[in-house]
Structure 1
Amino acid sequence: MAARDNVHVLVTGGSGFLGRAIVAALLDQHPKWQISVLDRTTPDGKTLPRLAHFCEVDIISPGSVNRAFEQCTPDVVVHTAGMVPSRHSRYSKREEDWELVKSINCDGTRNVLDATLTSGCMNFVYTSSCTVATDDLDHDYYYMDETMPIGFASLHYGKSKGLAEQYVLDPQHAEKGLNACALRPCTILGPGDTAVISVIHELIAKGETTFIVGDGDNVYDFMYLSNAVDAHLLAVENLLTTKTAAGQAFFISNQEPIYFWDLFAYIWAQFGHVPTRRTRIPTGVAYFAALVAEAYTWLSGVTPTLHTGSVKDGVRTQFSNNDKARSILGYVPRVGLAEGVRLACEDYKTYLAAQADSLAVPDKAKG
C-alpha cells in the first residue's frame, strides 16, 4: 500500500545533523509532499526555498511550539530535535546539567507531542536512542532487543531519552488515536558530524593512540547517517499506510558490530595515522587514573581527558538485534560501515581544511 501524495511532514530539529539529512531525503524521495522544519536554526540556503514552512522555535517553550503548529498542521511529525551531551558533558553528574538536558529532551518532547495532538495530527515518529538501555554503564549489552526493559539509564542523555520515549509511547495517547513509534539508533557517523569523528581524530594530536583500555575485545554498534535516515522514512511511510509500527520501539544500527578499538584505528588510518604500537592498559589501572583525573578536576576546575564513565564506556560491549525493524519497517542498511566511516572522514577533512583556511585569512590580509 503506497503512501498518498498530498502529505505534509514536519521535522523538528530539521537543521541538525540527523534532521537535515531526513529533510533532504524527504524532499528528494517525495517531491509531491510538503516538508516543513521546526528548529532554532534556519536551514541552509539551498533547503529553505524548498520548504513549505520554516518555524523558528525553541521546543522548551510550549507557547512557541503551539503557535508554530497553528501556522502549520502536518500529517506526520518526525521529532529529531534534542540535546546530545558530548565530550566531558556526556558523563556529567551535575544537577544543573541534568536540568538542561531534561528541559530539552523530556519537556521539549512533551511540548511537541502535546502540540501535535492539539493540532489534530495523529502520526508521530520519535528519534529515541539505544542509550535508553545502554546508558546504564555497569552492564554489557549483547544482541539487545526491544524486550529489554528501559528506565535504568544513569547518564543524563539515556535517562532523558528514555523518559521522553515512554511519554511518546504512553498507551493513553494511543487511546486518543495517536500512531507513534520510536527509533533507537546507535552512534551515527556521516557527513556533517563534527562530534564523534572529531573526538577520535583529536587523539592523534594528543599522542593518545598507542593504548587500548582493557583487553580490546569489546564490540560496539555504529551506523552510517543515510541508514538512519532510511529507517525514519520507512517509519513515516508505515504510519501513513499499514500503521503496524504504531506503539512500537525499534533498535536500528548498521547490523555490523565492530571491535570498539578497531574502529578508532580505522578512523585514524583515514587521516594517514597508524599507531607505532598498541599497549593494553588494564581496566582497573585506567579506572584509578580516571578517579585521579576527576579529583584533580574537582580541585582545579580543569576539564579532564579521562573520566570513569569513558573508561566504562570503552571496555563494555553493546550491539543490538534489528530483526524487529527489518520485519515491521523493512529496514535493511544500504551503506556498509567501512564505506560510511570513510565518507564521514572525507567530509571531516573538508571541514578541517575550511577551518584552517578561515584562520589563515587574517594572516593573508596582513600580507
Structure 2
Amino acid sequence: MDLTDLHPLEQAALTQLSVSVNKVFVTGAGGFLGLAICQRLLAVGIQVVGFARGDYPRLVELGVDMRQGDISDYDNVKQAMQGCDLVFHVASKAGVWGSKQSYYSPNVDGVNNIINACKALNIQRLVYTSTPSVTFAGRDENGINESAPYAETYLNYYGESKAIAEQHVLAANSAQLHTTALRPHLIWGPNDPHLVPRVIERARAGRLKLVGHEDKLVDTIYVDNAAYAHVLAALDLVTNAKCAGKAYFLSNDQPITMADMLNRILASVDLPPVTKRVPAGVAYAAGVVLETVYGLLNKSQEPIMTRFVARQLSTSHYFDISAAKQDLGYQPLISLEQGMQKLKQSLSN
C-alpha cells in the first residue's frame, strides 16, 4: 500500500502520527483489521512489530517485524513489545462458541499482559480493539451511545470476556499510560475472512434465512474506516488525549435493514436475495437445544445456531457515533455503497 492510495484525510493523520511515533506494536497483525492497520503504518515509514500465533510470510514481505507467540504468555508479550512507542491491541478470540477458558485466556489474560507490559516498558499509549457486544444483552440497540451500560448477562463468553477486558483497559488509563477502547461493529470488506464468506457459504448451501418477521436495522463498518479510526485514536493519544480513558462505538453511520445488508453481500457474487424467514422464537429455541447437545457431546465445532446468533439476527444494532466524530475527528471515508463496489471487484478477481 502506498500513502497516495489513501484518502487525503487519512494521509494527513498518518503523516502527523509518524512525527511522534517511531515503532508500533500490533497484536493480531495477521488478522483482517490488524493487517489494514499495519499497511497504513508502513506507508508512512513507521516501524511495525507484529504479534500473532501463526506464521505470516506476507507481513514479513511487507516489512513487518513479525513475532510469533501466545498473547496469554506475559514474558512472550513483554519481550516482543520492547522498544515500541505505542500499542494497537487488536488480537482476540472471536466467535460465538467455546469454553470460558478458551475466551478468558486470550481476551482477559491477554489484555492484562499487554497493560502490564506497557507499564513495565514505559509504553505510554494503548489503543484497544473492543466490540459493541460488550453492551449487548439480547435486546434492540437503537442508536445507543457510550452511556449505555455493560450488559447484565451475556449470551456467550466472547462478549463477556471482551467487556471485562475493555474495563481493564479503561481502568488502566493514567498520566503514565493513555488508553482508549474502540468498538467497531461487524467489520467487512475485500478479503474479509469472517462475515462475507460465511454469508455467501450459507446462501449457496441453502441455509441462509432471515430471523424474525420485522426488518431490524444494523450498522456495520468497512474495514478501511475501522483502520482509519484506529489511526485517529492513536493520533489523539499522542496529541490531545481527549479519548484517553474512554470507549467509542464505530460504524459506517449508515443503518440499513439486516435483509438489505445480507442481500447486498449476496449481490456482490450474483446470488439471489434471501427471502425465507424463521420466527425469532424458533431460532432461539434451536440455539438452546443445539448449545445443550453440543455441550453434552463436548463438541468444539460451532453450532449452526446459538442463542447469541438468534438474538443478533432478530434485533437492531446501530449506534450514535457522535463521540467518535467529536473526540477523534472520525468520519467514514468509504461509504457503504463504495465499499460494496470494492467488495464486488475483489470477489470477481
TM bin (shorter chain): 0.7 to 0.9
Map 1:199-348; keep pairs closer than 5 Å.
199-209=198-208, 211-275=209-273, 278-291=275-288, 293=290, 304-348=303-347
Equivalent position to 1:124, from 107, 120, 126: 126
Give 1:150's aligned residue.
150
Structure 2 residue matching 1:169: 3-state secondary structure: helix
Is 199-208 or 75-84 further displaced after alignment? Answer: 199-208
CA contact (8 A) 2:269 2:347 kept: no
**Aligned 8 A contact 2:266 2:272 in 1:** yes
Distance 1:101 1:290, change over 3 A: closer
C-alpha spacing 1:303/1:8, structure 2 compared with 1 (3 Å): closer
> Do the aligned partners of residues 50 and 20 (structure 1) sit closer, same or farther apart at CA in structure 2, a change above 3 Å counting?
same
Q: 3-state SS of the aligned residue for 1:36? A: strand
Corresponding residue for residue 76 of structure 1: 86
- State the alpha-carbon separation in 1 of the partners of residues 296 and 127 from structure 2: 44
**Residue from 53, 66, 69 that aligns with 1:40:** 53
Shift of 1:289: 4.5
The residue that corresponds to 2:103 in the other structure is: 101
Aligned equivalents of 1:226, 1:189: Cα separation in 2: 9
TM-score by length of 2: 0.86
User: Secondary structure in 1 aligned to 2:173?
Assistant: helix
Q: In 2, Cα distance between the equivalents of 1:57 and 1:187?
A: 26
Q: Does 1:193 align with 2:192?
A: yes
Q: Give the one of 32, 50, 66 matched to 2:78.
A: 66
Distance change >3 Å, CA 7–CA 274, structure 1 → 2: same
Consecutive unaligned residues in structure 2, runs of 5 or more: 1-12
Q: Which whole-Å CA distance do the structure 1 matches of 2:289 and 2:173 have between them?
A: 49
C-alpha displacement at 1:41, in angstroms? 2.8
Identity %: 30
CA displacement, residues 242-270 of structure 1 (integer Å, 9 cap, x when unaligned): 11111111111000111012211121122
Query: Would the aligned equivalents of 1:59 and 1:108 in 2 still touch at CA under 8 Å?
Result: yes
Letter in 1 for 2:278: I
Find the residue that maps to 2:142 and give its secondary structure.
strand
SS at match of 1:99: helix
- The alpha-carbon distance between structure 1 residues 290 and 36, as it changes in their structure 2 partners (threshold 3 A), is closer
Change (3 A) 1:249 1:293: closer
Per-residue displacement from partner, 1:209-256 (whole Å, max 9, x unpaired)?
5x5321231111211000000000001111111111111111110001
Counterpart secondary structure, 1:309: helix
Q: Considering only CA atoms, is the larger Rg found in Structure 1 or Structure 2?
A: 1
Alpha carbons of 1:247 and 1:271: their partners in 2 closer, same or farther (altered >3 Å)?
same
Match of 2:160 in 1: 159
**Aligned CA-pair RMSD:** 2.4
Aligned pair partner of 1:112 in 111, 114, 117: 114
CA distance in 2, matches of 1:269, 1:287: 28
* CA distance in 2: counterparts of 1:49 and 1:160, whole angstroms: 32
| Kept in 1: contact 2:52–2:67 (CA 8 A) | yes
Distance 1:151 1:73, change over 3 A: farther
Measured in 2, the distance between the counterparts of 1:303 and 1:84 equals 12
Q: Tell me which amino acid in the other structure corresponds to 1:282.
A: P
Quote the offset at 1:114 in angstroms.
0.5
In the alignment, structure 1 segments of 5+ residues that lack a partner are 351-367
Tell me how far 1:296 sits from its aligned partner.
Answer: 6.0
Change in 2 beyond 3 A, CA 1:160/1:46: closer
Q: CA deviation at 1:175?
A: 3.9
Q: Shift of the alpha carbon at 1:293? A: 4.9
CA contact (8 A) 1:197 1:348 kept: no
> What SS does the aligned partner of 2:150 have?
coil
| Amino acid across the alignment from 2:259 | W
